[in-house]
Structure 1
């Protein structure tokens, strides 16, 4: 098939492109080669771009341009829409940028598919676990609840755990039928993206699939980007011999899913008709707390990097979320192949072979503090 990947030079996009090429597909990649991800000289200095540049039809463009969309869509059978601004914290103060790229960019795609001749049969969207906001919880009496944002007053006192009407609650895996109530601008834009794709595509006879990715990591992810990717941020800090500031009490947790598993899940969505017009969680289905993440990285890098559990927090951050992946297992036959330990070992081995990037994380924190979003 002829497959367009937007964000095709990014972390997920480039890995997906290479795997699809191995399977015999013809790939076009549309990407703006953002300096935040690829550096200031991406065409010569970005390993992600270099890995695909002679293997795909590459279009240096943006999803906010109708002309670039039209050029990229010509003759395509499938669109895998990965291009997006992705930093949760950054989204809270670069609001227009996130809306323009994530929502308006998707609207241009749908406008073309609705009003102009095309050959597209399916659109596969990278949605996000961020649309859930806080995850799914259970009360003592067995009732299921979906708590809203935590109180800044509680967090200022060091009380970071989730409560519902004052009652402590038990964390549960978040399934696809869970309440959607994002707590960041990024999450709002991903919710909007998903709803537009799933609504419009079905109305015009184009199959649609949305994958709600959890925290994706692995070799190749950007070590330059200080705004997203806790594993790469911590790794760059460690390699620069800087201490790690762990937010809250370090017990906040995420579901970390290895890049190869994400690529395999996405290919199932491309190839299987059973995926059509469905949404799926993609994760390991296991929560890992941030302190465990930091400890594991320090151990794998064999350093004595100091860890500070500071009690700082960012407005818009959730406490916990991990995926119920029973639907994608039963419907598409997906099984994650990489445990957290195995994935981290591969990731840190890769980082050890890379040049040490400048640690710009404090800059991102200073930006949030200046906006009153970092406490």
Structure 2
């Protein structure tokens, strides 16, 4: 059944891909987006392929989720809201705290305030949550069973000891998949804001007759993601360094791991959240259920670009970074029938093919590291 769907932050990487797929399925899409320079460049009509991809296909409103007037205009006539609008840099969030809180928490608060205190047609809100709310992943201890280690100490990491520890566990901890009932203990301001967004939506919406759905996205990647924004993740950062023939600095010992999920699979999962009633009032992990370490990422990129650059395993680290996390996706698989279709190997190949067609600009990664050093967050 055709629905009127609003996507906040819909000109971004996930939002634009989602919008195009929803249109293919016959839905009517409105997008509210502020066209942030960090994501879309100085002149989005020219510098942002993401914006260009949706520009004439949706009802586009340039505005901010921190503006009540913009939100009121965008919400009019909508039946479903997919709330993607957010500041997204984990490291950046540790020194642009007011900005992250204002956009992520403040914007969500205004949205929910409007839904609570005005007349509208909204019946479902899908909130883009994040694996960052978990903080460090889930582990098993021979002595203690399931454990959730706290943030690693600066002293240990300075000494080159990057693995997690847990009081009372004497044997090495075994990494296991993080399920939705795992402990939530975010290690960054970004993670805290995403936890807050999720909790507000899941708490408020049922009281006003709106079905909430929270999707905890893992590390999303694929063609179309920004190659110039240093806060979009290591695949973009490393690709830009390789293309510019610059050395790659691999933090810690290169064995830290994440769950990388391809954009098409994320769009599939989000549409299931929109269209299926079985999703209502539920929280779901969205990932692949596979942990991939940083050294594997580097080697896959070298293979796909048929090009290598020098790299060093430096032992540098960022305060607030976690060691490991990958998703248990059994809940979304059983309730919604979600199964990721794109393996990391296949996804990297698709991503690299796309990167090879792009004009690679000077990266801003070094600037972001300098900022973090100045704030005492990069060691």
Report TM bin, short chain: over 0.9
Structure 1 segments, 4+ long, off by >2 Å, are none
Q: Aligned equivalents of 1:162 and 1:44: distance in 2?
A: 45
Partner of 1:87: helix, strand, or coil? coil
**Do the aligned partners of 2:9 and 2:31 also contact (CA within 8 Å) in 1?**
yes
User: CA shift at 1:222, angstroms?
Assistant: 0.7
* Match of residue 222, structure 1, among 226, 244, 247: 226
Question: Could you say which residue in structure 2 is the equivalent of 1:160?
Answer: 162
* Match of residue 274, structure 1, among 278, 296, 311: 278
User: CA shift at 1:303, angstroms?
Assistant: 1.0
User: CA shift at 1:365, angstroms?
Assistant: 0.2
Q: Aligned equivalents of 1:251 and 1:233: distance in 2?
A: 17
Partner of 2:378: helix, strand, or coil? coil
**Do the aligned partners of 1:63 and 1:106 also contact (CA within 8 Å) in 2?**
yes
Deviates more, 1:134-143 or 1:148-157: 134-143
Question: Could you say which residue in structure 2 is the equivalent of 1:58?
Answer: 60
Q: Aligned equivalents of 1:157 and 1:368: distance in 2?
A: 20
User: CA shift at 1:300, angstroms?
Assistant: 0.8
* Match of residue 28, structure 2, among 22, 26, 29: 26
Matched, 1:186 2:152: no
User: CA shift at 1:67, angstroms?
Assistant: 0.6
Partner of 1:164: helix, strand, or coil? coil
Question: Could you say which residue in structure 2 is the equivalent of 1:346?
Answer: 350
Deviations 1:92-129 (A, max 9, x none): 00000000000000000000000111110000010000
Partner of 2:91: helix, strand, or coil? helix
Question: Could you say which residue in structure 1 is the equivalent of 2:51?
Answer: 49
Q: Aligned equivalents of 1:342 and 1:158: distance in 2?
A: 33
**Do the aligned partners of 1:125 and 1:209 also contact (CA within 8 Å) in 2?**
yes
Q: Aligned equivalents of 1:142 and 1:110: distance in 2?
A: 41
Partner of 1:163: helix, strand, or coil? coil
Q: Aligned equivalents of 1:265 and 1:46: distance in 2?
A: 25
Deviations 1:180-225 (A, max 9, x none): 0000000000000000000000111100000000000000001110
Is there any run of 5+ residues in structure 1 with no aligned partner, and where?
none
* Match of residue 255, structure 2, among 247, 251, 256: 251
Question: Could you say which residue in structure 2 is the equivalent of 1:91?
Answer: 93
Question: Could you say which residue in structure 2 is the equivalent of 1:134?
Answer: 136
Q: Aligned equivalents of 2:38 and 2:244: distance in 1?
A: 19
Partner of 1:17: helix, strand, or coil? helix
Q: Aligned equivalents of 2:328 and 2:113: distance in 1?
A: 33
User: CA shift at 1:21, angstroms?
Assistant: 0.1
Question: Could you say which residue in structure 2 is the equivalent of 1:148?
Answer: 150
Q: Aligned equivalents of 2:158 and 2:363: distance in 1?
A: 28
